[in-house]
Amino acid sequence: MTKTLSGLFIAEGSSDLPLAAIVEFLFAERGRNVRLSTPNYESLQKVDKDVRSKLVAGARLMGKPFDVAVVHRDADNAGRQARCDEIVRAVASSGVSCALVPVIPVKMTEAWLLLDEGEIRKVAGNPNGREDLGLPKIHEVEGLSDPKSFLRECLVRAASVRGRKRQAAVSRFPQHRRQLLERLDLEGPVTRLSGWKSLIDDIERFIDSCSRQGSAGGRTP
């Protein structure tokens, strides 16, 4: 029986934590189980926000070796390759021995959440709304300059509220964003985006590496 891999998930922010379950699903779909730990960094007095600091702190909290670090960073304006290089350097300098799978949406994770009008309306609390949300086409979404602001405005527009209720809708953006991530259709339009395809490629490359090490008689991660 193929062993379940252990891993550490490092997110940019707490509302990105549902990505851990998404990555676990993508591994399982390809015949390999992985269990990702999502440590509570708040239990430590101070942890800087950079990847290296989070990796070191996460390894300390786990208290035992693990097979893979899954690191989420938005590409932003730096681009995917620059972010990937940044993550590789951070892991290499951390002193933590593990493999790496990067999760790098282009340009931001919010781009993945702009693909399902129905879910946006439901999360906004107005599933039967008819106001035009102005959502981008799938080939446009990764080219948006600020998908986060775009999604925030879409959610407010979908709620179709005014005054104090509008302000309340704006303040609920982190919760709404997280709900959309939890409801992301993993077999839907997101599979056509370059950032998603790169994630799949990295997962499959890692699984292939595990298989080759196992067939060679070495330690299988």
pLDDT tens readout for residues 140-183: 999 999 999 999 999 999 999 989 988 999 999 999 999 999 99
Structural domain spans, the chain: 5-106+193-215, 109-182
Residue-wise pLDDT tens digits, 112-129: 999 999 999 999 999 999
Residue of higher predicted confidence among 2 and 60: 60
Question: 5-106+193-215 maps to which CATH number?
Answer: 3.40.50
d(CA 20, CA 16): 8
pTM above 0.85, yes or no: yes
**Is residue 213 very low, low, confident or very high in pLDDT (cuts 50, 70, 90)?**
confident
Nearest Cα to 45, choosing from 33, 37, 53? 53
pLDDT at 211: 83
Q: 157 with 210: CB under 8 angstroms?
A: no
3-state secondary structure of 122: helix
Element (H, E) at 101: strand 99-103
For residues 10 and 72, is the Cβ–Cβ distance under 8 A? yes
Query: Please, which pLDDT band fits residue 1 given cuts at 50, 70 and 90?
Result: low
- Separation CA 156–CA 171 (nearest Å): 10
Percent of the chain whose pLDDT exceeds 90? 84
Q: What is the pLDDT of residue 2?
A: 77
Residues 6+ apart with CB under 8 A from 209: 99, 221
